[in-house]
Amino acid sequence: MTRILDYTGNDAQRTTTVAELRSLREAGSQLTQVTASTAQEATAAEQAGIEMVVCLSTAVSEVRRGSQRVFVTAAIDFNGAVTADELLAEAFRALTAGADAVISARRLDCIELIASEDIPIMGHLGFVPKKSTLYGGVRGVGKTASEAADLWAQFQRLEEAGAFGVECELIPAAVMTEINARTGLVTVSLGSGPDADVQFLFGSDICGEGDRVPRHARSYADLASLYAEIETQRVNALRSFRSDVASGSFPDASEVVGIDAAELATFREMFES
């Protein structure tokens, strides 16, 4: 745990810092990152020893409510920040809310603008889901020598633009190994193999909350079944309540407020008089 001053000037403890992330490769260390959108998820991540979480910038305050220690990266592409100035303003809002860094898949001049303010900024290379139509669908990126070379050029340009790190999604593991050995960016692997500074999976995949687990992920629980059982129990409880009301068995004497018989009698006399 490292003592820092956050972007509001307050003392804080963090599981890692940008400087420490940059030294991971030299130290032969690797950290973990998961998604979090609620205080409960952030608390669970901290308790599990996860060092880093990523969330939408609008969720930073909620995530910080759950953990004051995990390193929080705020995604700011998806909240209506269209112009470069809007993107920068959203970055500052995220930092003020408690983020340690921001991530964006926007063009290089946007990255440069944010980096010029000494805001730790990460890029997103490889498969970028919202750009999937450009790749012809959901697929790995860098599976041909030409595409891998273009990808490497993107890494170089991103580093030159001032980013400190990059989320690497669905890049062939062998290609990622070669790039990781040469880039100065902190690498975060999402389905891009073991050779990266940080291993990243969606919390929902780890916990088995969806209908399917992506090929690059691994599920360690089956919360989807538990949620289904909870919904079954919810409906059963509501149905029983409706039935008891219809039959007159709810409420019974133990579930209502009583009144002394004498007081009730006096109250009734009021109507008679």
In the structure encoding, which two tokens stand for residue 91, read together? 């970055």
Q: What value does the mean pLDDT take over residues 192-200?
A: 98
Percentage of residues of the chain with pLDDT beyond 70: 99
Q: What value does the mean pLDDT take over residues 13-20?
A: 97
Q: Determine the pLDDT at residue 132.
A: 87
Which ranges in the chain are annotated with CATH 3.20.20.60?
2-221
- What spatial distance separates the first Cα and last Cα of the chain, rounded to whole Å? 76
Instruction: Please name the residues in contact with 3: beta carbons below 8 A apart, sequence gap of 6 or more.
Output: 11, 12, 13
Q: Is the model's pLDDT at 251 over the cut of 70?
A: yes
Does CATH place domain 2-221 in 3.20.20.60? Answer: yes
Average pLDDT, the chain: 95
* Cα 163 to Cα 82, 102, 108, 143, 155, distances in angstroms: 19, 10, 9, 25, 10
Instruction: Please name the residues in contact with 185: beta carbons below 8 A apart, sequence gap of 6 or more.
Output: 123, 155, 158, 159, 163, 164, 165, 166
Q: Name the H helices within the chain.
A: 18-22, 24-27, 39-48, 60-66, 84-97, 108-116, 132-135, 145-161, 173-180, 203-206, 223-247, 261-272
Q: What value does the mean pLDDT take over residues 240-260?
A: 96
Q: Can you say how many angstroms the Cα of residue 232 is from the centroid of all Cα atoms in its chain? A: 28
Q: Determine the pLDDT at residue 78.
A: 63
Answer whether 0.85 is exceeded by the pTM.
yes
